[in-house]
Copies of this chain bind each other. A is one copy, B any other.
Amino acid sequence: MSGTGPYCPPAWDAGAGALRRDRLATLPFLKALQGTTRAAVVKALTLCTAEKHEQIIHERASADSVYLIIDGAVMAWKQRGPSDTQVTGFLFRGDLLGTLIGERYLYSARAVVACQLAQMARTRLAELADRHPDLRHALYGQVTSDFALAQDHLSMLGALSADERLASALLQFERRQRARGVAEGVPVWVPMRRTDLASYLGLELPTLSRVFGRLRRDGVISTPSTTDIKIHERDTLMRLSGDA
């Protein structure tokens, strides 16, 4: 049921539902909705989980479901050729996965670590959006912000050197982590494999590894574990990434 195999839809989860419903209510996306809208949306959501490395959506598969990430980390990628993929983004708690328009998904996605998700049929969401203007607004805002993120990523790949790209990504992850409510000073959580981070940055794995080495050697960061990165000199990272 887990693994990187063909296709396994996220597992339905019967137990511990209450616990996760609590985590649901505090999501910014839902908090932005009016009471009645929120109730309708929450009622329509189905809680489920995805194991580590489990594929959640398949590029070009029929885009039947939309997923709200409650906890965990998800990686999105595009297939360019038989063995040539490009990681296009990472999604965390509060991010939305899927599309509301178009027959097919625009990218594939898999869980980087075990995830808790909330699923809804796309048609159901479209119905709800038709009746609730504030939900429409929230959904439109979500796509717009996805677009903005893609544009930032794009300008990173187009203009920055290897060191600058990693600096930029680390600051992005830290910023998003803080937006999720994590305290300042907590090491940045970088749960994906180096290979995938390298692809996201448009680099080869050894190049990325060297950049990590340099930043470590210069005391800009330290890596208590592969997935936890402590920032010591934020100003250096900001200078590298070109502020912004």
**Is chain A's interface secondary structure helix, strand, loop, or mixed overall?**
helix
The proximity string for A residues 135-166 relative to B, scoring 1 for CB distances below 8 Å and 0 otherwise, is: 01101110110111011111101110000000
Residue of B100, B136, B202 near A157 (CB, 8 A) is B202
A204 to B152, CA, bound (A): 19
Residue count of chain A within 8 Å CB distance of chain B: 41
Q: Tell me the A49-100 residues at the B interface (CB within 8 Å).
A: 78, 80-81, 84, 86-88, 99-100
Q: Tell me the A103-122 residues at the B interface (CB within 8 Å).
A: 106-107
A135 to B23, CA, bound (A): 35
A100 to B137, CA, bound (A): 10
A213 interfacial contact with B, CB 8 Å: no
A199 interfacial contact with B, CB 8 Å: yes
Q: Which residues of B contact A155 (CB under 8 A)?
A: 78, 80, 86, 88
A–B complex contacts, Cβ < 8 Å, 11 sampled:
A78-B155, A80-B242, A86-B154, A86-B155, A86-B158, A100-B140, A101-B141, A107-B151, A139-B140, A154-B157, A157-B158
